[in-house]
Amino acid sequence: MPDQSLTVSGRQGIMVRIPKTLITATVLVVAISLNAGTLNAGSLNAGAAGAQQMQVAATTVSGRTGDVYLLRGLMNVFSQGMDTLATELGGKGFQTKVINHSSWSYAAAQITERYKAAKRPEPVFLIGHSLGADAVILLAERLAENKVPVTLAVTFDPVHPRPAPHNVKRFVNFFQSNNGFGVPVKPQKGYRMSIVNTDLKDREDIGHTTIDKADFLHSKVVSEMMRLSRPIRRTVAGAG
């Protein structure tokens, strides 16, 4: 069997024979140790990067208080002004949700859940156009049953509105009595809060399908909501 050892010169010229198997094993141990050190360093670096990522995964931004829902009318076709208004409100710091009028009961459940869970509930703002305006009142009625107050309700040209419920602190209705659709909103019996009906019958530049898009009305709504809300710092996930 061939010699599997290696002869090396030690101190004072003493010759030492070292088996090659021992040398191979030693090299393997050193390589594994170095590789483990590299992996450990990589794991630490990955952990640090992950921690840094977690730090930037959420941040605080300036905003306005408010649980804000905007309700579109029939088939979401004629109420695109609700989307535009939502964008304008978002620019002022409000968090908004735009839904179809048929989803009002779902919205009521969501608002009620947040209101009951909050130590300091935010004001509720409800805005709608056409059938969405009618649904604003249905939504407010459900919130009244759940003992949730509505700070402001704004309707654009409601078609068949029910009376404004008593839990709405301020109700603003923009309508046109001569366009074949819009009507004023009447207060529910015992209603003692503020209700304002503004008849825009003299505005020939707008109609039932465009009243929700009128810039001057959007400005009024934004002003009302700014007055009835307060600044707040919100935590936003995923913001860098």
Q: Which domain holds residue 50?
A: 5-56
Query: What pLDDT score does 59 carry?
Result: 78
The count of residues in the chain is: 240
pLDDT of residue 212: 98
What is d(CA 149, CA 89) in angstroms, rounded to the nearest whole number?
A: 21
CA separation for the pair 163, 145 (Å, rounded): 15
The pLDDT of residue 49: 52
Taking each helix axis from N to C end, the angle separating 215-228 and 80-91, rounded to the nearest 10 degrees, works out to 50
The tally of domains found in the chain comes to 2
Short-list 219, 231, 234, CA closest to 81: 219
What does the pLDDT read at residue 238? 58
Residues 24 and 127 in one domain: no
Residues 113 and 197 in one domain: yes
28 & 114 share domain? no
Q: What is the pLDDT of residues 42-54, one digit of tens each?
A: 444 545 555 455 4
Instruction: Kindly report the CATH number assigned to the domain that includes residue 107.
Output: 3.40.50.1820
Q: Which of 152, 143, 157 has the alpha carbon at shortest distance from 172?
A: 152
pLDDT tens readout for residues 6-38: 444 444 444 444 455 444 444 444 344 445 444
93: alpha, beta or left? (left if phi > 0; alpha if psi -120 to 50): left
Same domain for 119 and 71: yes
- CB-CB contact of 138 with 161 (8 Å): no
**High-pLDDT (> 90) share of the chain, %:** 67
Least confident residue range of 4-8, 102-106, 150-154, 231-235? 4-8
Do 29 and 117 sit in the same domain of this protein? no
The type of residue at 15 is M
Mean pLDDT of the chain: 84
CA distance linking residue 211 with residue 213, whole number of Å:
5
185 and 143 part of one domain? yes
What is the per-residue pLDDT for 200?
A: 98
Are 94 and 123 members of one domain? yes
* Pair (95, 138) in one structural domain: yes
Asked if residues 60 and 237 have their Cβ atoms less than 8 Å apart, the reply is no
Region label for 182, one of left (φ > 0), alpha (ψ between -120 and 50) or beta (otherwise): beta
- Each residue of 161-201: pLDDT tens digit? 999 999 999 999 999 999 999 999 999 988 888 999 999 99
What is the average per-residue pLDDT within 81-92? 98
Residues 193 and 218 in one domain: yes
At 58 the pLDDT is 67
Q: Same domain, yes or no, for 191 and 91? A: yes
Distance CA 91, CA 145 (A): 33
SS3 96: strand
| 67 lies in the same domain as 181 | yes
Please tell me the pTM assigned to this model.
Answer: 0.75
| Residue 109 and residue 29 share a domain | no
